[in-house]
Amino acid sequence: MNSLIPPAAIFIVGALFVPLMRGRLKSAFMLVLPVLAFATLVNMPEGKYWIVNFLDYDLIFGRVDKLSMVFGYIFTIVSFIGILFALKVEDDLQHVSALMYAGGALGVTFSGDFFSLYIFWELLAISSTFLILARRTKTSQAAAFRYIQVHVFGGLCLLAGIMVYIHDSGTTEFSYIGLNGIGSWLIFIGIALNAAIPPLHPWLQDAYPEATVTGAVFMSALTTKSAVYLMARTFPGTELLIWVGAFMTAMPIFYAVLENDIRRVLAYSLINQVGFMMCGIGIGTALAINGTVSHAFCHILYKALLFMSTGSVLYMTGKIRCTDLGGLYKTMPLTCLFCIIGAASISAFPLFSGFISKSMIISAAAHGNLIAVWLILQFASAGVFHHAGIKVPFFTFFGHDSGIRTKEPPLNMLLAMGIAAFLCVAIAVFPGPLYDILPYPVDYVPYTGAHVVGQLQLLMFGALAFCLLILAGYYPAEMRAINLDTDWFYRKGGRLFYYIMDKVLNGVNRLADRVIARAIPGWLGQLSRTPISSLMTLYMRVTGKGFATEALNTETRPEATSLAPMGTAVLLSLVFLFLLFVVFVFLA
């Protein structure tokens, strides 16, 4: 087993050779990498492997169990699909960044200690930033800078939490942590930021729509789902996640309805779907964890499919706003079909993948007598059908005729979308293979009469509401605008923070410079030259009492007296410093 190469290393090392190749050799090489990684996963029995001793700590690069294996499988599958989708892109920056990104996600998945976890966690942030920068526009550059700043903050929180946790526990290995101290809270915040848990989520809808067409496919699959994996590993059964997840499922719906940019709509729906996973992790039962893991598996596929289909539209037309698109089903019928399959999957239609995974989480909430949570999840299920299931394909391919006449994207893009669409349907029709690899034994039957009828009723009422709003003219108009949610507080709060740093702390710094760096040394120098007059002057300033002018002037006259001996001045200086030290200690 130790002779095998870690899956993460296959991607990371392979990425270094990509710029050295050209043409079909490069395409074949990139496609082989995820295939090799998947073959390695298939031959990995459970256990701990690739253990390296470093500074008296063991770095574990291969902790293999059912939880890590599920995420390892789907990360390699979506990497193959994403690479296939990007084959026609002649940009080594994107290819290298995407492969490094996939390697970082696999590294996080199989890390068994905090040190190696942190290394791969930061690799995720850095490599994904270049997928935004690679679009090479001013808006993408600004989004990339904001993205990396947010993730550096999250990484620092994670690192601080790791150091505190190691100090308290004495071990670098991690499994279940729970919220029981400052270290665990810092780790939780660091993971929560990557999971886009509100109010830490604005980076996602700010950055993902600005990524490249192919880069957004990888970003939709890896960062947030790596965080889902870590939450499932370290914080299962945390009650806070139940309510945070429920809020995540409902909140993005309202913003997604207002959005004009199709990829921003998909970014909001991504937060909605991760909310289901967070809720399942918070419930923490076997059914809920199985539902979370299976939903992450399915979500990666259909979300990648939706980003590929809308990205293909952007690639072929150069447009991505609802107000600029419409009528494309006439010239892009296959892309339209793939988008509809992705929309049906995210909406949890029967015979599409979301149906066999999302329902497990909702059922777990019902079994736990979480009635309020169950109602919120049902509302969110109807809401996601409203904005991602209907709005995205409707305004992109139907709606008004924009007059755009283009053609289907290149064959490699169609093949990538076709593979993802096939898997979305195949998993739904035959869920057994997916259920067999879940962390716990599955005793759940998705296709019951009550479940199928109930879900169809929910979806049909959602469709009816959309139609009535459109026909009555009450559906929110698509406007060319940027909608702000909690990032409004970041922008205003950032200005306030800058003002405080500049006016208050810099003011204290300037005062300290005048008093400590200039005034006190100058006064001590004066004290060493004319100790009597200096002490008299200090006494007068403190007490407000005066001395005879002649008494003060005698010291300044050359004929009155000579300078005090150096020893006296040093002694007085030491006495003053001692008194100053006593005052500081007393005030502290």
Residue 436 per-residue DSSP state = H
- Got the DSSP string for 346-408? HTT-TTSTHHHHHHHHHHHHHHTT-HHHHHHHHHHHHHHIIIIIIIHHHHHHSSS--------
Going from the C-alpha of 118 to that of each of 176, 189, 554, the distances in angstroms are 17, 14, 71
Q: Is the dihedral of CA 506, 512, 515, 518 positive or negative?
A: negative
390-423 per-residue burial string, b: 16 or more CB within 10 A, e: under 16: bbbbbbbbbbeebebebeebeebbbebbbbbbeb
pLDDT tens for the 588 residues of the chain, in order: 455 788 999 999 999 999 999 989 999 999 999 999 999 999 888 888 888 887 777 788 889 999 999 999 999 999 999 999 999 999 999 999 999 999 999 999 999 999 999 999 999 999 999 999 999 999 999 999 999 999 999 999 999 999 999 999 888 888 899 898 899 999 999 999 999 998 888 899 989 999 999 999 999 999 999 999 999 999 999 999 999 999 999 998 888 888 889 999 999 999 999 999 999 999 999 999 999 999 999 999 999 999 999 999 999 999 998 888 888 999 999 999 999 999 999 999 999 999 999 999 999 999 999 999 999 999 998 888 888 888 899 989 987 888 888 899 999 999 999 999 999 999 999 999 999 999 999 989 999 998 899 889 888 887 887 788 777 776 766 666 666 777 777 667 767 777 777 777 777 777 777 766 666 777 667 767 777 776 677 667 666 655 544 444 444 444 444 444 545 555 556 566 666 666 555 555
Overall size of the chain counted in residues:
588
Helix (H), strand (E) at residue 59: strand 57-64
Maximum distance among all alpha carbons in the chain? 114
Q: What does the alpha-carbon distance between residue 311 and residue 394 come to, in Å, rounded to a whole number?
A: 16
505 HSE (CA, 13 A, CB side): 7
Helix extents (H) in 437-486: 449-472
Q: What does the alpha-carbon distance between residue 346 and residue 338 come to, in Å, rounded to a whole number?
A: 13
